[in-house]
Structure 1
Amino acid sequence: MKSFSFNTFQTLFLFYLSTSTIFFSPPSISASSSSSTLTTTQILKINQTLLSPTGIFQLSFFSYNNLSWYLGIRYNIDHDNRTVVWVANRKTPIQNPNTFLKLTDTGNLIITDQSNKIIWATEKINKNSTLKKNPILQILDSGNLVISESPNENDPTKFLWQSFDFPTDTLLPGMKLGWNFDTNTEKHINSWKVTDQDPSIGDISFKMHYHGVPEIFLWNKNRRVYRSGPWNGKRFSGVPEMQPFTDSIQFTFVQNDHEVYYTFSIVNESLFSRLSVDSIGELQRLTWIHSRKIWTKFWYAPKDQCDNYKECGPFSICDTNASPVCNCIKGFHPKNHQAWNLRDGSDGCLRDNKLDCVSDRFLHLGNVKLPETSSVFVNRSMTLLECGDLCQKNCSCTGYANIEIVNGGSGCVMWLDQLIDIRAYPVGGQDLFVRLAASDVDDEVVRESSDRKTAKAIGIMAGGAAVIFLAVGICFLWRKKKLQFLLNLKGKSEKRAGSSEKSQDLLITEGVFTSNREQSSETNMDDLELPFFDFNTIIMATNNFSEQNKLGQGGFGIVYKGRLLEGKEIAVKRLSKNSGQGVEEFKNEVKLIVKLQHRNLVRLLGCSFQMDEKVLVYEYMENRSLDAILFDKVRRSSLDWQTRFNIISGIARGLLYLHQDSRFRIIHRDLKASNILLDREMNPKISDFGMARIFGTDQTEANTVRVVGTYGYMSPEYAMDGIFSVKSDVFSFGVLVMEIISGKKNRGFYSANKELNLLGHSWKLWKDGNALELIDSSIDNSYSHSEVLRCIQVGLLCVQERAEDRPTMSSVVLMLSSETATIAEPKNPGFCLGSTPIETDSSSSKKDESCTVNQVTCTMVDGR
């Protein structure tokens, strides 16, 4: 964050007043007050300020070392740091404090000293000497510094000059990043120097390349380090996280004969957001949190290994959830096997078989970042079929795709050379068709030419109906017999094992849902793609699972603290031999966590699997679990309000990653205080993914006959009907929010009205206008009332009875980060509680459980 002291202004101003050099100048703006405009008869001195109409931005001189001075536009909202978003003279710093800014009669802006030496001037200074009619300089609330001939001019085409045409390191709402073909001018952003106190031009830049299909590249000097991918009508192909917030931020891409540019706009005027390039090499979207008076990193790139430009070389795909991350496209093999085996895929891949042009086929790759589009054939009027036929006829064509994906897809982009910088996404990518030799492509994954497909369809349709009916009949009989076989098998198993129960939930194998029990063999663990620890190593690290090393105990086993021989501290989760979590849940947790990388998710270091011992090894969390502090009468006083707010925000960001930004859409299903771990700095990390489930890209909810989780945190539709979705996790998050604020458990909470749990109590206080009574009495009074009320309101929105009324986690994160964001009024919550005070996986108990949803009580019996 760029910051400086204003004390230097006073020192230099006194120096200016005491200097013996006196020079003639027009009247200046009063030093005791700020103005919103500057005319040709005024000057702006070192210690003076020009403010935008509502005071959001200011124009003034600044310095970090009292030696070099710069004229810049800064946010006026962060009074401590004064974030700089534009610098006029970044190439020519001012060395003399007796310097001022002046607007000339010709409408040019200059910085000059007492000897009238021009230090900096607008680029039109030598191009236009025509006198203007009363030119005026003003800074708008958009952050745009403009020169016009009218103080109320809002038409950019009538500006004589504007700072938005000359971005520095920041793209503000309304700024354009791209090219103007009429004037042959480019707009891009450049970082500051390596130090954040040197505004001169740094090595990192973000520029649009308009040849072929336009893309934006992040550069480090002359080296490309990141590529946005082409615009596909909704977002950049390489930024699947780029979701338009219709009530907050909207993204725009324009391409025509006159210009091509990218910009964004803010719908919610209370939200402040900017796109910047950092001197360390990051492209960052930052948003301002009013309550905490800080900028937070909302999104950044490059964020992982596959964001690195050409990480895997030609004709290969980068996938952060694969090991290694580089994989050759089907029909290709590594060019450099030795380097490939050492996990260096930069040389890429070569074809297995030569193309013959006539009989070549096309492999369909879904959900990928399109290859680099700098040198491609483009036709925006073609359909995908026409594009494929044209590619088939052109022997140089190596692949093709739609340009845009909206309205079913349109336009044609064809690659005539190597396919470079492809990466895979779980959702949000595009379809790409890659040319292969016919022998390298299976029939079910090819896209045939329209002529060949039409001819083939005629023959298929003749017998299609009969085949379909026959297949359906066979499938029905087979499923009926298999179901009967499984029921018989289960009955025999229950007789042998007594009350032991095996999960009938879907297994997750290589990202595909399956109910095939044979795939859960306890000896088949080689597909976990995770380091294995020798069980003796675990025994030594935990001192043979010593009671003194015990950190806690949950429904599926005990967690121990351990220390490896090299000194690294670890947390070891030893699954109980008679727990409800079997091999399926064990493999599920491993497969999920090893593929998830986020600062608010616990990191899995490895596992151990030997005979009937199943062990997971995690990073060690110094402050253990949230419930151990939050519900402890002595320790909870260490959780001040700021810490609690940070924990709430961190959990929200972790859930947003699981629901939207990770490779899979993941439903946790057991979010609770004991599954939130805290590191040394009290940063929250979501843990325990044994009950988590993956959703497909087009899947919104699922149903299970085995309700798992913890009563008190379960949503009504899940506890009663077994229906779960992302909104189930949202409900659990809402319960957590209320518990963190109050320091009390939802289940086991008793108020004067015995019918109310914590949610009911909170709802009553909210309706009565007494919501602040909910806050934990151990918290001192140094908290923001508005921030607490906002969190309570968000929490109540999350626990609303109807799933469709609850917000998504992206909305939750936005509401938590913006003090002035519009937040709906909550409706009545779902008061779902277990009758038993014992916290347990519901599937492990044979007792019936009662659940009350807004005074309607029913009885739930575990599905078998």
Structure 2
Amino acid sequence: MRSFTTFFLFCLSTSITFFSKPSTSVSNTLTTSQFLSINQTLFSPKGIFQLTFFSYNNFSWYLGIRYNIDHDKTVVWVANRNTPLQNPTAFLKLTNTGNLIIINESNKTIWSSNQTNQNSTLNTNPILQLLDSGNLVVTTEPNENDPTNFLWQSFDYPTDTLLPGMKLGWNFDTNTETHINSWKQTDQDPSIGDISFKMDYHGVPEIFLWNKNRRVYRSGPWNGKRFSGVPEMQPVTDSIQFSFVENEHEVYYSFSIGKESLFSRLSVNSLGELQRLTWINSRNIWTKFWYAPKDQCDNYKECGPFGVCDTNASPVCNCIKGFRPKNHQAWNLRDGSDGCLRNNELDCESDKFLHMVNVKLPETSSVFVNRSMSLVECGDLCKRNCSCTGYANIEIVDGGIGCVMWLDELIDIRIYPAGGQDLFVRLAASDVGDDGVGGSSDHKIARAIGIMVGGATIIFLVLGTCYLWRKKKLQCLLKGKREKRGSLERSQDLLMTEGVYTSNREQTSEKNMDDLELPFFDFNTITMATNNFSEENKLGQGGFGIVYKGRLIEGQEIAVKRLSKNSGQGVDEFKNEVRLIVKLQHRNLVRLLGCSFQMDEKMLVYEYMENRSLDAILFG
């Protein structure tokens, strides 16, 4: 009797049309009166995807959804990934209750979509349909695209691939999670492997790449535009758009495609790599658009607690300013996993905060979160809470939104040349003025003045002597009253040809820095011009700071003298120095173009001279 039933099912299934070529005119649905056998294929309306049985060795058979656009027929979803068929005599059947089942040669159900909670009155005449999105859905209406009307959909059960429109995250109403798992063996065994990509919704949600029970990579929290740990995750107009939704009902990450001709997918493979792949139609290949982990600093906890990872440094691990390696021996052997310890104990009342920029925020699984606070309010709250070790904005849009505070160790921080976030780390007051290692706003170990200071000092002494000698002679030119500022400027231009400025000019300039008519440069402008004060742009350093070469957006080359923060010089002293330099402007001197005193930074911007500084010529 069982043999007769099997034969009957086989004969019935062969009545289904076998679609050998994709076509928009071919039906893409399966009803309860039909079967799909191993030698048959169901196509999406435009022929982008196909639902079919496949095998790599003719011994294990699987039902899966594959791309129909590429020669390899890349698989993006597998139904029976852990229960393969051992015989090609099998069928896919849609029951009257909307349940999908795979029946083997023994008429035994080896896989089911488990639709047991559906109302039978709603499941009258259910239809199985493969959409052009790659979503296999059970609905009561053909060509239905409204997910709220689906009785079941494959998008709720991803395997190793996230397609456009799929959600990766949590549904709190049903307490269900959607994530992706690698195959056991790439291109061979689609059963569940060791690598998974899952969202942790605690604190500020992040997505982790797991190898079994071990975290190996962290995306960083969503900052309103992208994940903090993926600065290259920039939306492309009419191309790939990323979205992140978090509310009381659900939290998930998804992406969409703006062009019908573009195909992209996110997947994890058995080698432990997360990949975004994009289809290149002209070459008929999938290209790796992005992947992780891509470098040493992508490894989770690479530099341990309070450590900072920087791929541009050697070694890549440094301690945050005010900290030292916990295990010096391991640190010297390039193992920073033990992290760092504070140089000095915190005092709470007198503690200060180190401003770090362009960083991947520390892990946020167990943090304090307030989405209505400003950054200033967040800093005040952190200051009052002696357990707070750092704080930051949750999102970077609209000037910064929300407050996230860390109450424990800061783990898995890394620095980017650009595109990260601002982080404020609690330090003992005595550590803020020290020359710390790594993680400060300029990402450098030392801050001292450039070689220009030596040459400028010699010039100032020579011209100062000249100024005193000629002061008496010049007084006769300055006795008359100057009724207009224009006449003052013309008189000073005359004096500048003699090599000095008058004391009257000094009295005028002391009233207001604006009277100097000296351009004020924004800190971000200088940062961009010097490529974030990179080592490649370093011209030299002296006893008080470093000089960097830069290029403004307009193309003009500049030399930036960045004064040391621990030089003891305040803003007033800095202004006085600028006034002195302005008074000593001369055609034979390097021209001062402007200055900046912002974010505890004091900088002088000079014109760039190709033939190095004066002391190099004088002293070889």
Match of 1:369 among 356, 360, 372: 360
Distance 1:147 1:514 in 2: 63
CA RMSD of aligned residues (A): 3.3
Is 2:19–2:43's contact at 8 Å kept on the other side of the alignment?
A: no
Is 2:144 the counterpart of 1:153? yes
Distance 1:421 1:278 in 2: 24
Is 2:117 the counterpart of 1:130? no
The verdict on how the C-alpha distance between 1:164 and 1:474 changes in structure 2, with shifts beyond 3 A counting, is: closer
Is 1:370–1:422's contact at 8 Å kept on the other side of the alignment?
A: yes
Is 1:196–1:279's contact at 8 Å kept on the other side of the alignment?
A: no
The verdict on how the C-alpha distance between 1:354 and 1:512 changes in structure 2, with shifts beyond 3 A counting, is: farther
Distance 1:92 1:446 in 2: 54
Match of 2:228 among 234, 237, 241: 237
Aligned residue number for residue 207 of structure 1 = 198
Q: RCO greater where, 1 or 2, for CA within 8 Å and sep 6 or more? A: 2
Match runs of 1:797-816 below 5 Å: none
The verdict on how the C-alpha distance between 1:21 and 1:234 changes in structure 2, with shifts beyond 3 A counting, is: closer
Aligned residue number for residue 702 of structure 1 = 555
CA offset at residue 513 of structure 1? Answer: 4.6
Is 2:31 the counterpart of 1:64? no
The verdict on how the C-alpha distance between 1:137 and 1:700 changes in structure 2, with shifts beyond 3 A counting, is: farther
Residues 743-784 of structure 1, C-alpha deviation per residue, up to 9 Å, x if partnerless?
Answer: xxxxxxxxxxxxxxxxxxxxxxxxxxxxxxxxxxxxxxxxxx
Is 1:70–1:94's contact at 8 Å kept on the other side of the alignment?
A: yes
CA offset at residue 35 of structure 1? Answer: 4.2
Aligned residue number for residue 299 of structure 2 = 308
Distance 1:446 1:472 in 2: 34
> If each structure's strand is expressed as a fraction of its own residues, which one has the higher value?
2
Q: Secondary structure at the match of 1:23?
A: helix
CA offset at residue 507 of structure 1? Answer: 12
Distance 1:243 1:225 in 2: 23
Aligned residue number for residue 395 of structure 1 = 386
The verdict on how the C-alpha distance between 1:473 and 1:701 changes in structure 2, with shifts beyond 3 A counting, is: closer
Q: Secondary structure at the match of 1:216?
A: strand
Aligned residue number for residue 838 of structure 1 = none
Distance 2:44 2:278 in 1: 20
Distance 2:353 2:344 in 1: 14
Aligned residue number for residue 287 of structure 2 = 296
Structure number, greater radius of gyration: 2
Distance 2:52 2:194 in 1: 26
Is 2:358–2:418's contact at 8 Å kept on the other side of the alignment?
A: yes
Aligned residue number for residue 269 of structure 2 = 278
CA offset at residue 129 of structure 1? Answer: 7.1
| Length-normalised TM-score, structure 2 | 0.71
Match of 2:8 among 17, 23, 44: 23
Match of 1:39 among 31, 37, 42: 31
Residues 559-586 of structure 1, C-alpha deviation per residue, up to 9 Å, x if partnerless?
Answer: xxxxxxxxxxxxxxxxxxxxxxxxx9xx
The verdict on how the C-alpha distance between 1:700 and 1:116 changes in structure 2, with shifts beyond 3 A counting, is: farther
CA offset at residue 284 of structure 1? Answer: 0.4
Is 1:35–1:49's contact at 8 Å kept on the other side of the alignment?
A: no
Distance 1:322 1:373 in 2: 25
The verdict on how the C-alpha distance between 1:241 and 1:701 changes in structure 2, with shifts beyond 3 A counting, is: farther
Distance 1:279 1:357 in 2: 48
Is 1:508–1:514's contact at 8 Å kept on the other side of the alignment?
A: no
Aligned residues: 471
Aligned residue number for residue 409 of structure 2 = 418
The verdict on how the C-alpha distance between 1:241 and 1:468 changes in structure 2, with shifts beyond 3 A counting, is: farther
Is 2:69 the counterpart of 1:77? yes
CA offset at residue 316 of structure 1? Answer: 1.0
CA offset at residue 243 of structure 1? Answer: 0.6
Aligned residue number for residue 97 of structure 1 = 88
Distance 2:66 2:393 in 1: 42
| Length-normalised TM-score, structure 1 | 0.51
CA offset at residue 442 of structure 1? Answer: 3.1
Distance 1:507 1:329 in 2: 22
What is the one-letter code of the residue matched to 2:390? Answer: G
Aligned residue number for residue 7 of structure 1 = none
CA offset at residue 475 of structure 1? Answer: 8.8
Is 2:509–2:515's contact at 8 Å kept on the other side of the alignment?
A: no
Match runs of 1:670-709 below 5 Å: 700-704=553-557
Match of 2:260 among 269, 286, 298: 269
Is 2:427 the counterpart of 1:436? yes
Distance 1:394 1:467 in 2: 42
Distance 1:303 1:361 in 2: 35
Distance 1:177 1:137 in 2: 24
Is 1:230–1:373's contact at 8 Å kept on the other side of the alignment?
A: yes
Distance 1:369 1:147 in 2: 42
The verdict on how the C-alpha distance between 1:231 and 1:32 changes in structure 2, with shifts beyond 3 A counting, is: closer
Distance 1:84 1:323 in 2: 41
Is 2:73 the counterpart of 1:86? no
What is the one-letter code of the residue matched to 1:511? Answer: E
Q: Which runs of 5+ in 2 are unaligned?
A: 21-25, 442-507, 520-528, 559-609, 611-620
Q: Which runs of 5+ in 1 are unaligned?
A: 1-17, 448-464, 477-504, 520-526, 528-583, 589-692, 706-842, 844-864
The verdict on how the C-alpha distance between 1:53 and 1:168 changes in structure 2, with shifts beyond 3 A counting, is: same
The verdict on how the C-alpha distance between 1:149 and 1:408 changes in structure 2, with shifts beyond 3 A counting, is: same
What is the one-letter code of the residue matched to 1:702? Answer: G
